[in-house]
Each structure stands twice: as C-alpha cells, then as structure tokens.
Amino acid sequence: MATPEPYFACDRRLSRAARALVQQRLQKAPMHRNHALLDHSSSSSNNDEATVWEWLDRTLVQPSSACPLLHDALQEQEQAVVLVPPVSWRSGATPDWQRRGGGRQKRPHRTRPLHWFQCGLCWKTFGTRYYLDRHLERHHGEALGTHADDLDDSCPAITWCAFLGAHSCQDTALEEEPYYDRGSGGLGDDRDVVRRKVARRAHDYVCTAETIRHAQNACHAMVHECFGGTESELGTYLTESYCSTLACPHLLYQLWSKTLGGTQAAALVLKQVHEWEEDWIYWSKEHHEMGKWGFALLLVLVLFYGLAFWNRRHRDTFALAPFSSTHAPGRPRRRPCETPQLWPVPSSPFKQKRR
C-alpha cells in the first residue's frame, strides 16, 4: 500500500526556528516593560521552561484578528511530541559500551541519541525528528489547527519568518537542526554529507535590500496588530530593538546582535558595516583589474624562465656531445683517444724442460 503524500506543505523545521526566535525576542525584553511577564500563573514554574505559546499568552496586548502570532496550524502536533530517553539508559542503566572493559573504553563513533522522538497521538517512536515530521504529515492531518486551510495565514515558516527575516529563520534552523534530512540524524558516517546538503539548501536564500524592507514593514505591522504598536512599552521596545535593526546577516551585525543592546550603538555599527561593504566592493573591483595584469606578468615570467632553463640544458648537452655517442652538428669530430699498447709479459725463466 502506497504511503499517502503530505497535503499540508508547511516547513516544520523553519516553523520551529521561527518559534524559537519569537521566544528569544520576548525573553530578552526587560521585565519592567511589561508586567505580564511577571505573571507566574502559567503551568510552567520557570519562565525558561515556558513554551512560546505560553509567552504569547502573557505578552500579547489586545491583539487583533490579523495578528499572525495567533495562528499556528502546527501547534497541536508540536505539543504532542514527546522526548523519550533511550531504553538502555533509562533508570540509570549503564550502556553496553561502558560495561565492557570495566567502563574504561572510549565511546564509539556511532553513538546513541540523547533521546528518541515519540508521537503523542499514536505513540510510535522515531530516531530523528525528520522521520517524525514525515509521520505527522502523512498520518495525523486531522490534528492540524483550524486555520490549516489557509496556509499563508497559519504556517509560522511563512507568516512569522516574514517579519523575523527569512535569513534569520534559515540561520537558526541550520544551527538548531544541522542534520535534518534522510539518514542517521548526525550519528552515522553520513553526517558530513547530510550537513553539507542542509547547509547548501539554507545558503540558497539571497538577502537583498528589498527583502529587508519587506521584513521591516511586516515587523512594524506585526507589532501594531499584536502588541498595540508604539502605544505600549513592549511594542516600542520591539520596534526599536528588532524592527528597525533588521539587516542582512553580515559578520559584524551578528557580533552586534550577540553583544550590544542599545539602538544608538546598533545604528553606529550598522553604518560602519554598510560603509565597509561599499569599500569592499570598490576595492574588489580594483583588485580584479590588477589581478589580470598580475596574471599576465606571471605568465611572461614563467615563459622567460622556461626558455632560459631549456637553453641552459641544451647548451650543456652540446658541450658534452664530443665525449658521447651523439655528435653535435657544426663542430669538428675529435679523434677518440687511442688505446695504450700493452707490452708482452716476459716469460718465466723457470721453464720446464721438454722431455
């Protein structure tokens, strides 16, 4: 029996990356800017253990129906995923590779995963998240949200990454799940091949000024629809800290996003980044022209020294020609040295008498 094809084409890996980015943005917000963050009435006792949906329940400020953060068709399926530890490691059991040799042997290259992925709807267990996602797509379509019919308004990989920046979603997904593809999930010999394949797929996205402008407009619209715009303190913070600082992922920009936090410092760093980019483009063109002349000069030097070496080699061959079997044309042939005459050896005076 053929396996049915998935009918809900929403990238689950990018959706998880989008949720992680939204949760990071809300966690970095100062606690005094929104008193809702101090509410511990959620099921999780610690804010670090709360899910992104619990953070949204605390922080959304009178959201309208157009708020994209309210619609997540994959929420029910994601909440049904259970992380199960490997069977041999349960209840403090010692792994087989550690029991052999008194526990002093090194861990083998093919290690067991830290946990398995179990479907909470049918309790099937899978070795990697990739195969669990394929299982959910093919066999549990009824667990999708009520907004699954409208893909453009319910898939976080589309609606959330629109205001987060597609490049940010791609980088986060590559960092969190670098082996998301068919295979062993990074535990076998195919790990390097899978990682290169996933990285090549992520780097196919091209970040331009137009895409950044669309992301900034979508970010401002999201803050207005979900957090009350600049009228609320949290909306003002998100606008100044994230919407206004969206840019293509340069190395200096990534360094700023992990170290600095002020908007003035951000503007200064981004200005330096763009000036450095313009200088780099200018000098790269200049060096490209100079590289042509340098290649031509290198070719001339190679030909010159090659001819000089060839001439020197053949000149030495001509000088040794009279003493060899090969005679150089245009030179008189010398008479070879005569063999010295050997004098006869005198006979011994003690000769035997003839009979």
- If asked whether residues 239 and 293 sit together in one domain, one would say no
Q: Are residues 167 and 307 in the same domain?
A: no
Domain assignment of residue 43, given as a range: 12-88+109-249
Q: How far apart are CA 211 and CA 117, in angstroms?
A: 35
Residues 150, 234 within the same domain: yes
- pLDDT given at position 255: 53
Task: Say if residue 280 is in the same domain as residue 139.
Answer: no
Domain closes at, from 192, 215, 249: 249
Residue pLDDT, tens place only, 263-280: 555 556 555 665 666 666
* Residue 221 resides in a domain: yes
d(CA 116, CA 112): 10
Q: Are residues 180 and 278 in the same domain?
A: no
Q: Buried (b) or exposed (e) across 182-205, using 16+ Cβ within 10 A?
A: ebebbbeebbeebbebbeeebeee
Whole-number Å distance between alpha carbons of 247 and 52? 24
233 and 300, same domain (yes or no): no
343 assigned to some structural domain: no
Three-state DSSP at 83 gives strand
Q: Last residue of some domain: 224, 249, 274?
A: 249
Q: Report residue 14's pLDDT band, with 50, 70 and 90 as the boundaries.
A: very high
- Both 136 and 21 in one domain: the answer is yes
pLDDT band with cut points at 50, 70 and 90 for residue 288? low
Q: How confident is the model at residue 106 (pLDDT cuts 50, 70, 90)?
A: very low
- The Cα–Cα gap between 41 and 58 comes to 9
Beta carbons within 10 angstroms of residue 181's beta carbon: 18
CA distance 198 to 200: 5
Q: Tell the burial category of 95 from Cβ atoms under 10 Å away from its Cβ (0-12, 13-18, 19+).
A: middle
pLDDT tens for each residue of 153-211: 689 999 999 999 888 898 889 888 888 888 777 777 777 788 888 887 777 777 888 88
pLDDT in tens, 108-118: 444 566 778 89
- Both 242 and 274 in one domain: the answer is no
Residues 199 and 314 in one domain: no
Do 124 and 135 touch, CB atoms closer than 8 A? yes
Q: Are 71 and 159 in contact (CB under 8 A)?
A: yes
If asked whether residues 298 and 153 sit together in one domain, one would say no
How many domains does one find in the chain?
A: 2
Q: Indicate whether 44 pLDDT > 80.
A: no
| Within-domain flag for 333 | no
> Who has greater pLDDT, 224 or 109?
224
Domain assignment of residue 234, yes or no: yes
Does residue 136 or residue 262 have the better pLDDT?
Answer: 136
User: Does residue 215 form part of some domain?
Assistant: yes
User: Is residue 218 in some structural domain?
Assistant: yes
Q: How far apart are CA 303 and CA 171, in angstroms?
A: 48
| pLDDT score of 343 | 60
Residue 31: pLDDT band (50, 70, 90) is: low
Encode pLDDT of 308-333 as tens digits.
888 887 776 555 555 455 555 555 55
269 belongs to a structural domain = yes
The confidence band for 4, taking pLDDT boundaries of 50, 70 and 90, is: very low
- Most confident of the ranges 36-40, 131-135, 280-284: 131-135
Going along the chain, which residue ranges are E strands?
Answer: 81-84, 116-119, 125-126
Structural domain contains residue 294: yes
Q: Round the average pLDDT of the chain to a whole number and report it.
A: 73
Question: What 8-state DSSP symbol labels residue 189?
Answer: T
Contact present, 159 and 191 (Cβ < 8 Å): no
Last-in-domain residue among 249, 283, 307: 249
Say whether both 272 and 213 belong to one domain: no
Tell whether 149 and 291 lie within a shared domain. no
